[in-house]
Homo-oligomer: A and B are copies of this chain.
Amino acid sequence: MNFSRINGRGRVLTRVRRNLAVSISAGTALLLCSATFSMSQSATLPIMPLPSDVQTHDGRQVLSPHFSYFTSGARDERIDRAVARTLRQVEERSGLLFDRTPEGKFVAAADGKAAALLIDCRAASAAIPQLGEDESYTLEISTAQTVLRAPTTLGVLRGLATWTQLVKSDRSGWFLPALTMRDAPHFGWRGLLIDVARHWQPIDVIKRNLDGMALVKLNVLHLHLTEDQGFRIESKTHPKLHELGSDGLYFTQKQIREIIAYAAERGIRVVPEFDMPGHATSWVVGYPNLASAPGPYAIERRWGVFDPVLDPTNEDVYKLLEAFLGEMAALFPDPYLHIGGDENNGKQWTANAKIQEFIREKNLKDNGGLHAYFNRRLLDILQKNGKKLVGWDEILHPDLPKDAVVQSWRGAAGLAAASKAGHNVILSNGYYIDLIQPAREHYAIDPLPAGNTLTAEEQARVLGGEATMWAEWVGPETIDSRIWPRTAAIAERLWSPREVKDKADMYRRLDYVSRRLDEIGLQHLRYREPMLRTYAGDAAQNEDLAVLRELLTLLEPVKGYRRNHAMNDAGPSQFIPLTGLPDLAGPDAPATRAFAEAAEPVIFEKGNPSELRAAFEHWRRVAARLQDCAASGRLGPRSGEVASIGQQLAELAEIGQEVVNAAESSSSETHGAAWRDQIIEKLDKNAGSAPVVEFPAANSLKLLAAAVSERPRQGEFAPAAWRKHLKALAFPKKSK
């Protein structure tokens, strides 16, 4: 079999199917299976990311307790361990108990023919995964066995991640659908950034998220290790960095090695980030002389962009960095090392006469030039240690050497500019999962969208992307609920062919992968019930918990940076308990998603609003139950908050009713701009007055109000322009 066509970056793809409806191939030689295997079950597969190419066949491979596997080709114990992990997961999910050897291992078959799972790995991957390694594989599942072939260990790992998602069941038992699959990634850099600095995330959080990443074929863990709010890694050369900068919450170097090994075992690279020269308060708590203004400094406890910045004119800074980065370069085997470089507000530099003098002396022009000077010095240090530099948008400067990689957080323009300037680039703009957008919005972002204007060479420099889990509002209990399952949609965008983009099908499959993530120990579903019990309190009854659960299908945390803004005066932000309504609530609340989908045709195509009317009825009932349970006093100190939310939901239903009535009324005269603005104002007041949670359905209602108010002018617009026009009216003051 020739893999070369789908190798490497995987852009040369064969037989990519649009719309994911996987065809049923009737003419195979496979045996027909029992009648319970319905056509609808095989219509699409419950897997994520979708593969490049798949054909399902009639029939199934039944999983029996007498399961054995066989590996041919390269010997690699990582494969045995990955098989053992996979089979144990299947056992725990299914209740099956697979055969064991006397030593307690899963059984290796005598030969490939006798094996339920035959794995053929052409060559063992290096001990540490490398950017650009071949991750392709093929799966051939017949009634007799699964054959998984891959050119590398990495490909085998990716194939096993697919295989475990294919395991399904019906009344008769557990099985895999017969199929033929070829698969390879679209992009080679598919990352998840975890900010362990703003809120500390201990090693078990990292490990379980590595398990999740492996399941959806992400291959880069980007650890954001330093921030104003914490220096989260042990330095043996400069121990005051972590000792004074972390409240004692940091990774030891031994733990880092453990993380790297755990990741490598799953085919995942670990790229560390040490953010400089800004975002550096925690550095200068222990070493105040490195800052650009006199100390002393304390760990920052709030969120935002702060002044402390390293002093690029101070040779002591480079002495520390030579030692520290040397130490880190030895600790982290990956050739890429991220130096941050973002959001330096320049205030300390501007206020420091000595620094300004230095800029003039060295002809650096301005603070930007000084930043570039600093980066060149950093680059020297990294090169001496055999590392390539990665940094955020702001490092882009004409003087930046071409082998520096730019990670774009500010948008497509920055990405294109960096790529045109000759840099490899990674996209993160659009993948900021901390901002609580629905999965469909992230899913729509393609690092290389159809119709982009980059040359082939420039396109080749787009390595991929990274979801970014910034940690202002996540602790170890809630972080999984912000990462998953939405990051699986981003993983699919980065792995699957560009043509895989049906949002409804993505959401359908997201529900499956969410369950698989739940089963392997991610906390995104299970964190909520204990937190809800605590929120509701000792006196709450089942009915109270039930209505709060209903509420959480309608309510979401506020989006963007609104929670920062709302909480800025509450006290030291880092210590705010993450156990309130915005923590219980999550992105993509189910009823919210359903409402947006039902509203879409009503807004843009004058569809039938009966589903919306039913939703208003539902809201009214939920609102009444919330009021009752708040009035009962059983929710103790939460009663006031719940009453107010209930009140808002009731008003939302009233406003919704008014907007839909207007949409159906024949007279448009009374529903002009003034009416629309009044609706928008009422919605802002009533769906946004709880400062940190919102009812996103209000957005659909705003759009509908805009559509009603502009209905007479619809003829003037093409469909896309009409959509844009309504959005502009519905969200007039929307700031980014």
Give the B-binding residues of A (Cβ under 8 A).
Answer: 46, 65, 91-97, 99-100, 102-104, 168-174, 204, 247, 298-299, 301, 512, 515, 518-519, 525-526, 529-530, 533-534, 537-538, 570-572, 574-577, 579-580, 633, 636-637, 639-640
Contact = CB atoms under 8 A, between A and B. Distances in A.
Nearest to A175: B637
Contact of A577 (B92, B299, B579, B637): B92
Contacts of A169: 537-538, 636-637
Given A525-B530, A530-B519, A538-B512, A575 B637 contact: no
Contacts of A247: 104
A580 B530 CA distance: 22
Given A512-B538, A515-B538, A301 B173 contact: no
Nearest to A530: B526
Contacts of A512: 538
Given A103-B298, A169-B637, 11 more contacts: A65-B571, A91-B575, A94-B637, A104-B247, A104-B572, A171-B637, A173-B637, A515-B538, A518-B530, A525-B529, A525-B530
B299 A104 contact: yes
A580 B526 contact: no
A171 to B, nearest CB: 5
A204 B46 CA distance: 33
Shortest Cβ-Cβ A-B pairs, 5 listed: A169-B636, A91-B577, A92-B577, A526-B530, A97-B571
A540 B247 CA distance: 45
Contact of A538 (B91, B168, B572): B168
Q: How many copies does the complex hold?
A: 2
Nearest to A630: B171
A38 to B, nearest CB: 11
A173 B95 CA distance: 46
7 contacts: A93-B579, A96-B577, A97-B571, A103-B299, A171-B633, A171-B637, A174-B637
A165 to B, nearest CB: 11
B298 A97 contact: no
Contacts of A65: 571
Contacts of A204: 204
A577 B515 CA distance: 18
Contacts of A91: 575, 577
A579 B526 contact: no
A637 B172 contact: yes
A417 to B, nearest CB: 40
A47 to B, nearest CB: 12
Contacts of A574: 104
Nearest to A574: B104
Given A530-B526, A534-B519, A579-B95, A100 B301 contact: yes
Nearest to A636: B169
A575 B515 contact: no
Contacts of A171: 633, 636-637, 639-640
A636 B169 CA distance: 6
A636 B96 CA distance: 14
Nearest to A580: B95
A97 B530 contact: no
A269 B96 CA distance: 40
